[in-house]
A and B are shown apart, each in its own frame.
Chain A
Amino acid sequence: MKRARIAHEGRALWVEVAEDGEVLRLPDGGSVKAADAVWLPPVTPGATIFALGLNYADHNKELGFQSKEPPLVFLKGPNTLSGHNGTTLRPTDANQMHPECELVAVIGKPARSVSVVRALDHVSGYTIACDYAVREYLENYYRPNARVKNRDGATPLGPWVVDAADIADPQALALRTTVNGKTVQDGSTADMVMSVAELISYLSATMTLMPGDLILTGTPQGVHYCEAGDRVVCEIEGIGRLSNTLVGDKAA
């Protein structure tokens, strides 16, 4: 089952995505065509949004970092999220703005001091994030700092959440990013430094994870700098394709 959140006739609704992916079923029994939907990020209010840096061995090599112990965890605000088929502002001076395709685990029940073996029992589903970074804005304080990773609308999320039961192994999924149809990232969740289960166990050792919390699990190699007007698609096997278009900042 896939669940999406859309804007429909003045309300934000959770809807079910039909098997063929072309129809969205409304809670009142009605339906809308997926092609006509206004997609919202599939997230519940108040969710804590965890994100991982340097969690793919190949990407670390590309950036010149050794794998870090402990893991590099940072948090994001809900201001960063935008829905499928949305737009993200590319600042005029952001010549080094690049997309990062990430598997997102959605927590389904409270998790505290959870073992690695039991951790995936606390996951209700998976979705996709396109976590843009602007490398010009990197500073060496709480890196990656907020100006890089907490920008309004610079983390498209969706299109939907796929039930965990439908993903046999979250560590065996192909990820791909295309920019205007050209592949710029082509990796596998098998290359994560810490698996989804290990991340949940690690985080739950000091923090209670709650239903709806999101864990963005990092990105594989493939740093590609984007231009205004670029159409960026992040795709993860078994989940779907998340599309976003970069637009120039009018305010400059």
Chain B
Amino acid sequence: MLAGTVYGVVLNDRDERAGLAGAFAVSPYKAPPESPVVYIKPRNCFARSGAEVFIGDEDVEIAATLGLLIGRDAARTAAEDALAHVAGVCLALDVTVPHESYYRPVVPLRCRDGFLPLGDFAAFAPSILTTEIVTTVDGNSVHRWAPTRLVRDAATLIADLSAFMTLAAGDVLLIGLPYDAPCVRAGQSVTVTSGSLPTLKAQFNAGDAR
């Protein structure tokens, strides 16, 4: 359903960084992160809005964010030019099995089948970057945040990543995850909205997608 690579970043939430300052100073981290902390959601994760996401007995964390669709390759792009490389935007629900450590990549926890429901894309307008993202579970509003909380805003993030890795046309960049994302269990339904973006829905069910 996507031609490109989906990249995301963790530890890009200012509130989260403040809370973890003490942990960053000691082993295994020893120093705060300097470069963006990047992960990939591979193609087995991709799901359309409305899809069922199959999970086990344990709760999963659902972080609502924006996916920026790159329209033109960004390589060694300056922050002031970065948003000109963004063609579209969608709502994304980054699902993961909850975990504490940021030391090692967590591919088997974050990259399970169906763990990235994506809404339909709309044309990108910068105003979405200051608009609240609202997550609703079974009809109850459970979480709100806005990308104004990001350590690296979208333009800075594109610039800092493109210094060493090209964001290619067709790639999608998830701009950051709220540290206080809610959890859901099997049987719950989730809706994510932000401004006029197409609504994202996902139904979490028990079982094995296979």
Contacts of B103 in A (CB 8 A): 140-143
- Tell whether, in the assembled complex, residue A143 and residue B165 are in contact, meaning their CB atoms are under 8 Å apart: no
- Tell whether, in the assembled complex, residue B7 and residue A77 are in contact, meaning their CB atoms are under 8 Å apart: yes
Contact with A along B39-55 (1 / 0, CB 8 A): 11011100000000000
| A57 → B minimal CB distance (Å) | 19
- The interface size bin for chain B is 35 or more
- Is A45's CB within 8 Å of the partner chain B? yes
Complex formed: what's the CA distance from A46 to B170 in Å? Answer: 11
Stretch in contact with the other chain, from B108-116, B135-143, B190-198:
B108-116
- Tell whether, in the assembled complex, residue A251 and residue B76 are in contact, meaning their CB atoms are under 8 Å apart: yes
Q: Which of B35, B112, B168, B171 meets A207, CB within 8 Å?
A: B112
Stretch in contact with the other chain, from A19-27, A66-74, A218-226, A234-242:
A66-74
| A210 → B minimal CB distance (Å) | 7
Q: Which residue of A lies closest to B27 (CB)?
A: A140
- Tell whether, in the assembled complex, residue A146 and residue B38 are in contact, meaning their CB atoms are under 8 Å apart: yes
- Is A151's CB within 8 Å of the partner chain B? yes
Contacts of A137 in B (CB 8 A): 35
- Is A115's CB within 8 Å of the partner chain B? no
Q: A139-B34, A141-B33, A143-B103 are in contact. List 5 more A-B contacts (CB 8 A).
A: A75-B105, A79-B168, A146-B37, A207-B42, A208-B44
| Partner-B contacts on A (CB < 8 A) | 45-46, 48, 50, 70, 72-80, 112-113, 137, 139-143, 145-147, 150-152, 202-203, 205-210, 251
